[in-house]
Structure 1
Amino acid sequence: MTTTKNKTALITGGSRGLGRDMAINLAKKGIDVVLTYHSNKVKADEVIAEIESEGQKGIALQLDTGDVNSFDSFFARLGPELKEQTGSPGFDFLINNAGTALYAPFAETTEAQFDEIFNIHLRGVFFLTQKALSFMNDGGRIINISSGLARFSFPGSSAYGSMKGAVEVLTRYLAKELGPRGIAANVVAPGAIETDFGGGRVRDDKEINRHVAGVTALGRAGLPEDIGGLVAFLCTEEARWINGQRIEASGGMML
């Protein structure tokens, strides 16, 4: 297995769920990890301990990815932290993973709900990536986390699915415009995964879990470990020629 040495990844929302598994899998590839967390520093520090147990450096920083006005101060903190920990203020991989769920019928979705989802899943991704560019090393990778809900539709996810669809289009533009710097941009779109996302619906509601399993070719709902390894792979040299692509990891949902 080829490992990537002396590279650093920034993962938003890395303290739990899919982000946690991504962080650990990146560390196993020999990649140092900066992760952001919204409020649970204890969980974030637990992930840092796991990263360090793999022999890699880890940094946890608080960030609200829905608050664009906080991004300048975030990067002002990140640069010196990276310089101290890794010897360089730059990083190589940006994984836009942080997000929250919204389950509301289209006819009942409020402007406040829409704005919150927009700020986290599209506005935040757009401008965090924009501000990250001056810190990213040439030849790096951007991985945006989308959802199977951008391809298939379940009632109650119109706002969330729409934002993820927009991120998928944005990713193709990133791949096109950042190509001269050797920066590749791709989308990973998980299907329904058993985490605490959205209150743990897929994990804890037996009826929902059974329904997901029934519409999935491999016959079960996804697990965090079904996603983290894919994201880590996209940060390796073996994946260097993958660019501008949407990779769905759903076990074959709704085929």
Structure 2
Amino acid sequence: MSQKIAIITGASRGLGKSAALHLAREGVAIIGTYHSREDEAQRVVAEIESLGGKVKMLQLDVGDSSRFDTFATQVSALLSAYFKAERFDFLVNNAGIGMYASCAETTEAQFDQLMNVHFKGPFFLTQKLLPLIADGGRIVNISSGLARFSPVGYAAYASMKGGIEVWTRYLANELGPRGITVNALAPGAIETDFGGGTVRDNADVNAWVAANTALGRVGLPDDIGAAISMLLGDGGRWITAQRIEASGGMFV
């Protein structure tokens, strides 16, 4: 059986890094992307290689769709030259940015940036990569618990994630004949540097989230990495077109 290959956007840190490490431990080869912090990306490469895994990192700004043709060409060349493959198996659309602003305060520039990174980017990047993903493959789009619950300050961000969830269903229907599953995974509040690291570093916010979560704590990156790994494993083969929340029961 040939080795499975996953593309994970935003794999140099946070949830993407956790997913890459979980998959690497299961024998999946990794093509990760990073935005600007090459040093962090190379540390992930070293960690995966220490596990005996195969990994390459490529620079990509998911918010700049003009780069996607070039990126697809890079991926195709990398598959052939390094992984000795024509196709990859898994795509995790994870890369993202955090932004806090009420509806009244959100600027058009902020809105456009969120749209480009969180909705337009994944939509058209996936489109460009469809010829390279193997039949029977899997796609996981990262949404957010904020698409279900609605605290003030996340309207624009969460609206993009709502769009991701609708698109996920349509994509699952279109790719069903190829045996490709498509799901949206919606994390709750996670202890990362996302959005300035507020959930991780602000003790009051952390305690408030834990008090409003059925399992009594804030999520960790490994909680989400493990969930992504589950969806890409055998247990996810009959799951498609779903929104799956991994929040520990936040605001139930």
State whether TM-score is above 0.5.
yes
Matches within 5 A, 1:121-140: 121-140=118-137
SS of residue paired to 1:227: helix
1:7 — aligned with what? 4
Task: Determine if the alignment matches structure 1 residue 211 to structure 2 residue 208.
Answer: yes
Q: Is the deviation greater in 209-218 or in 60-69?
A: 209-218
Deviation beyond 6 Å, 4+ runs, structure 1: none
Equivalent position to 2:221, from 220, 224, 246 = 224
The offset of 1:80, in angstroms, is 1.0
Q: Is the 8 A contact 1:34 1:60 kept in 2?
A: yes
Q: Secondary structure at the match of 1:106?
A: coil
Q: Is the 8 A contact 1:104 1:156 kept in 2?
A: yes
What CA deviation, in whole Å up to 9, does each residue of 1:89-110 have, x standing for no partner?
3201000000001100111101
Gap regions ≥5 residues in structure 2: none
Q: Which residue of 1 aligns with 2:106?
A: 109
- Give 2:209's aligned amino acid: V
Contact 1:57 1:85 in 2 (8 A): no
1:174 aligns with 2:171: yes
1:191 aligns with 2:188: yes
Is 1:86 aligned to 2:78, yes or no? Answer: no
Cα offsets for 1:67-116 (capped at 9, x unmatched): 00010111111111121111013201000000001100111101000000
Tell me, in whole angstroms, the C-alpha distance in 2 between the residues paired with 1:237 and 1:195: 28
Mean CA deviation greater in 188-197 or 49-58 = 49-58
Q: 1:105 to 1:142 in 2, by over 3 A?
A: same
Distance 1:89 1:55 in 2: 22
Between 1:34-43 and 1:85-94, the stretch displaced more is 85-94
Normalised TM-score (structure 2): 0.98
2:51 paired residue number: 54
Deviations 1:6-36 (A, max 9, x none): 1100000000001000000011111000000
Deviation of the 1:54 alpha carbon: 2.2
Q: 1:36 is paired with a residue of what secondary structure? A: strand
Structure 1 contact 81–89 (Cα < 8 Å) conserved? no
> CA 1:5–1:236 in structure 2 vs 1: closer, same or farther (change >3 Å)?
farther
Report the secondary structure of 2:72's partner residue: helix
* Count of residue pairs brought into register by the alignment: 252
Q: Which amino acid aligns with 1:28?
A: R
Q: Pick from 35, 38, 43: which aligns with 2:40?
A: 43
Query: Which residue does 2:70 correspond to in 1?
Result: 73
- Percent of aligned pairs with the same residue? 58
CA distance in 2, matches of 1:236, 1:250: 20
Amino acid at match of 1:182: G
Matches of 1:68 and 1:101 in 2, distance apart? 19
| 2:147 aligned with 1:143 | no
Distance in 1 between the 2:47 and 2:5 partners? 16
TM-score, normalisation: structure 1: 0.97
How far apart in 1 are the matches of 2:2 and 2:69?
28
1:18 and 2:15 correspond: yes
Displacement of 1:247: 1.0
> Shift of the alpha carbon at 1:5?
5.3
How do 1:149-164 and structure 2 match up within 5 A?
A: 149-164=146-161
Q: Distance in 2 between matches of 1:34 and 1:134?
A: 16
Cα separation, 2, equivalents of 1:13 and 1:89: 23
> Unaligned 5+ residue runs, structure 1?
none
